[in-house]
Amino acid sequence: MAELRWHPLLRTWVIISSIRQDRPHLEVDTRCPFCPGSGKVPDDYEIYAYPNDFPSLSPDPPEPDIPGDELIPVRPAYGRCEVTLYSPEHDVTLPELPLDHVARLVDHWEQRYRELGAMPGVDYVFIFENRGRAVGVTMLHPHGQIYAYPYVPLRLQVEMASAAEHRERTGRCLICDLVAHEKTDGSRMVYERDGISIFVPPFAEYPYQVYVIPDRHLGSLSDMDPGERLALAAAIRKITGAYDSLFGVPFPYMMCMHQDPTDGGEYPWWHYHIEFYTPQRAPDKLKFNASS
């Protein structure tokens, strides 16, 4: 089963995918398919991307299992899901990779954003990383994912609607105003270098959540010049390394890139940024989302 079903209360599509239940969960990584020599990946690679073995979205999706109706429409789960292997080294972490390697990773993300966004019917390219068992990661080899959605995910819809309203009301960019606000306050700033700012938002939903934002107003990775992408790579290395040093253990997080949709629209009021969600609140304690 793989299909999209409309959520009439939230007014968004929900992915229903039974194949995700078949994902492997390796308690001991003695058979890692992402390591060279496994037969699954090339024996010699730096960064490697391939279609997810258990995709919730597919370029050639099956017909839905249920017909759908006026209240709850159903449509095929069209799109694409990719895995990006950051390195052939099984135990290396993102901040341990050389800066030039992370810069090539950022360039890879930019390339896939353009290429997947050019696919007919792809409205949003979502680049993300889930790290650590605490957030449900089943494979420990350093990797991230890219989903090419046939719609704009709900959280992005809400953020973009807020940014559009702010521009209409003030004539300014909401994210630019947020960066200026935090630089003026200063108490939550974590990093400020080469045109990239990192801070804990005053409305943080997690104890160590941060936003990573280019100071220059731009909508996507493709709007960055090579120097800006290098600066972004350095900032990502810095914050992920800071996370790992916080409690002296590998720090779980969810890294999400929020950039322009690829649905053919124009979004001059939108501002590219990365959000890190961090459930670890103490060395031996996690924050769990509860009812409200």
DSSP bridge pairs for 274:
212, 257
Which residues form the domain of 80? Answer: 2-22+31-286
Question: What CA–CA distance (Å, rounded) separates 76 from 160?
Answer: 26
Residue 62 lies in a domain: yes
Residue 228 lies in a domain: yes
Residue 292 lies in a domain: no
Residue 291 lies in a domain: no
Number of domains comprising the chain: 1
Q: Are 137 and 130 in contact (CB under 8 A)?
A: yes
DSSP, collapsed to helix, strand or coil, labels residue 196 as strand
Residue 143 lies in a domain: yes
Length of the chain, please?
292
143 is catalytic: yes
Residue 214 lies in a domain: yes
Residue 211 lies in a domain: yes
Q: Are strands 74-76 and 196-199 parallel, antiparallel or unpaired?
A: unpaired
Residue 96 lies in a domain: yes
Q: One digit per residue, pLDDT tens: the chain, 292 residues?
A: 789 999 999 999 999 987 655 555 555 546 799 999 988 899 999 999 999 998 999 999 999 999 999 999 999 999 999 999 999 999 999 999 999 999 999 999 999 999 999 999 999 999 999 999 888 888 889 999 999 999 999 999 999 999 999 999 999 999 999 999 999 999 999 999 999 999 999 999 999 999 999 999 999 999 999 999 999 999 999 999 999 999 988 899 999 999 999 999 999 999 999 999 999 888 888 877 777 6
> Does the global pTM surpass 0.85?
yes
The catalytic position among 141, 143, 271, 273 is 143
The CATH number of whichever domain residue 214 belongs to comes to: 3.30.428.10
